[in-house]
Amino acid sequence: MAELPSLLAAHARLAILSLSVALLMALPAGVLAHRRPALGRVLVTAAGVVQTVPGLALLALMVPLLAALALPSIGLLPAFLGLTLYGVLPALQNTVAGLGSVDDAYREAARGVGMSERQMLLRVELPLALPVIVAGVRTAAVWTVGMATLSTPIGAPSLGNLIFAGLQTRDLGDVLLGCLGSAALALLLDGLIRGLEVGARTRRPGLVRGASLGLGAFVLAAFLPLLGGPERAALRIGAKTFTEQYVLAELLVAEAEAAGADAEVVSSLGSTVVFDALASGELDVYVDYSGTLWATLMERELGGATRAEVLAGVRAWLRETHGIEVLAALGFENAYAFAVRRETAAAGVRTLADLAARSPRLRVGADYELFRREEWRAVAEGYGFAFAERRSMDPALLYEALARGDVDTIGAFGTDGRLDAFDLVVLEDPRALLPPYDALVLGRAGLSDAFPAVAARLRALAGTIDAPAMRAMNASVDAAGEPPRDVARAWLAERSPRAASAP
């Protein structure tokens, strides 16, 4: 709630910047496209192709693209670029259509009274095309504001922060707040642009002045917070898009602050985005899991390696390839695990081998990632899975879907508080095909030199959180609805007497 004003402003800033640049590109391109139809078809097609890329994917694609160009790859820049590209099409298309709709009789009249081609464009063609062009601008404005919520996973704060985090932590109030905020911004911007156009067209100076003042105030309100000084804290701590990550990020912030550093959470990042950001130094710290790094980034064979071997391998690989330090293994694993309802377990499904035997009659659900990950391939081939149906869904919905019977088994996270809350049973992996998933605090290259006190404090977290503790913290958020920040600080407060007494 407290962050609503700053998220609104950040959201509006992002939308205003992207929309402005999109229009600066689209309007001249539209004029050019109208003048030279062959080129116009190329431009409109290109903008149309961009539009066919789903919004979230377009924004996410900017991350590796910028990283390859050695530019800041998370945060404002990729979000700005993605949104800008997205906003071009409606404005471009409507500029072309608007100019095309101008009756040639007016062009002949414009030439006949002695206008040059440029004067004709500015004084006749554009004014006559204005209503159609403005309709495109308004569409672009509404799309851009709406899509700006998707910039959260690539590290640009927006109202999406409320939506993504709210979905994960089952805080529907936050989700609603994010949606309503975004809708209100979109309607406001749309209304102001429309007011400006109607005022200009019908020559109502009062309306033009009102709409201009409104737009000015909108921009001012969005950018004014920047004058308050740099928003960026000294340390940026990343979190992926699930509850445990929010809790741990808050915990790390609290520890960094205790070590005297100013720190902030950059939350709801995509899982490869967050690693790339750490590798490029845009994030300072986040928590990842040994098995994820082992399977996804190192592309190592699954099965056979012990927990210690995986941990050692990951530690060495991170240091050698990215200079990243494993500051601490927190002490628990959050493994991918397959869970079933208690009655399924009672019917004799205890292991992944049992599950495979019955899989042709069963439906499996998982988050967006699992079916594409090495871990899935390993267990599916290793045990011979042949499920009747696979369903990908948001992790926030997964446990409930299993409990309700929408699916028969899910790819779950071993420390998720909802396993207990919904009375679910985790299946054994007798062939140890799923790798160990030690939760590791990762620090960017050079962190311990720049912030020795913080690094020392985070190293001291090694082995302090066991699986039941983590599961309890997750449940406090998911089931009891407590904010991750409070849960993290409560845990630290409870621990501190012991920590203080430690040598």
Partner 1 sequence: MSAPAIRLRGVTKRYGERAVVRDLDLDVAPGELVVLLGASGSGKTTLLKTINRLVPPDAGRIELAGEDVSALPSSALRRRIGYVFQKVGLFPHLSVAENVGITPRLLGWEPARVAARVARLLRAMGLPEDVADRFPAALSGGQQQRVGVARALAAEPEVVLFDEPFGALDPVTRDRLQALVEGLRGTFAGVFVTHDVPEALRLGDRIAVLHEGRIVQLGPPEELVRAPAHAQVAALFEAPARQAEAFARLRSGDG
Positions that interact with partner 1 (CB under 8 A): 105-106, 108-116, 119, 124, 127-128, 201
CA distance 180 to 171: 15
Give the whole-angstrom CA distance, residue 315 versus residue 277: 18
Q: What type of residue is 94?
A: N
Closest distance to partner 1 from the beta carbon of 215 (Å)? 22
Beta strands in 161-207 (DSSP E): none
Residue nearer to partner 1 on the CB measure, 52 or 202: 202
Rounded distance between C-alpha atoms, residue 365 and residue 458, angstroms: 35
User: Phi and psi for 327 in degrees, rounded to 5?
Assistant: -75, -35
Helices (H), 417-483: 418-421, 447-450, 452-459, 467-478
List, in sequence order, every beta strand (DSSP E) within 187-299. Answer: 235-238, 263-266, 285-289
CA angle 319, 322, 324 (to 5 degrees): 55
Q: Which is nearer to partner 1, 116 or 321 (CB)?
A: 116
The two structure tokens encoding residue 26: 């689209």
Can you tell me the distance from the alpha carbon of 19 to that of 365, in angstroms, rounded to the nearest whole number? 38
Ramachandran class of 138: left when φ > 0, alpha when ψ lies in -120 to 50, beta otherwise: alpha
The least distance separating partner 1 from the CB of residue 112, rounded to whole angstroms, comes to 4
Closer Cβ to partner 1, 117 or 343, answer by number: 117
CB closer to partner 1, 205 vs 348: 205
Token reading at 382:
């290793």
Q: Which pair of structure tokens corresponds to residue 449? A: 């030199």
State in angstroms the smallest separation of the CB of 133 from partner 1: 13
Pick the closer one to partner 1 by CB: 114 or 229.
Answer: 114
Per-residue CA distances from 139 to 86, 145, 213, 493, 498 (Å): 11, 10, 21, 50, 58
CB of 101 to partner 1, least distance (A): 13
Residue 132 or 318 with smaller CB distance to partner 1: 132
* H/E run at residue 327: strand 325-333
Q: C-beta of 109: minimal distance to partner 1 in Å?
A: 3
CB of 129 vs partner 1, minimal distance in Å: 10
* Closest distance of CB 26 from partner 1, Å: 22
Which lies closer to partner 1 via its Cβ, residue 130 or residue 432? 130
Q: How far apart are CA 99 and CA 101, in angstroms?
A: 5
Tell me the closest approach of the beta carbon of residue 113 to partner 1, in angstroms: 5
As a whole number of angstroms, the distance between CA 178 and CA 204 comes to 35
- Cβ proximity to partner 1, 112 vs 503, nearer residue: 112
Nearer to partner 1, 108 or 494 (CB): 108
CA distance 415 to 471: 5
Compute the least distance from the CB of residue 207 to partner 1, in Å: 16
